[in-house]
Amino acid sequence: MTQIAIALDLNRCVGCLACVVACKMENNVQIGSYWNKVLRVGPNGKFPDVEMYFLPVLCQHCDSPECTKVCPTGASHKRADGIVLIDKDKCIGCRYCAMACPYGVRYFNEEAGVVEKCTLCAHLVDKGQRPTCVEECTGNCRYFGDLDDPTSEISRKLNEAGKNVHTVADVGNHPSVKYILRKATWRSG
Number of domain units in the chain: 1
Please report, for the domain that includes residue 63, its CATH number: 3.30.70.20
pLDDT by 10s per residue, the chain, length 189? 899 999 999 999 999 999 999 999 999 999 999 999 999 988 888 888 888 889 999 999 999 999 999 999 999 999 999 999 999 999 999 999 999 999 999 999 999 999 999 999 999 999 999 999 999 999 999 999 999 999 999 999 999 999 999 988 888 889 999 999 876 444 443
Indicate the helix (H) or strand (E) that contains 156. Answer: helix 153-161
Cβ pair 141, 12 in contact under 8 A? yes
Cβ pair 97, 67 in contact under 8 A? yes
The predicted pLDDT at position 75 comes to 98
Residue 56: give the domain boundaries.
4-185
CA distance 156 to 9: 13
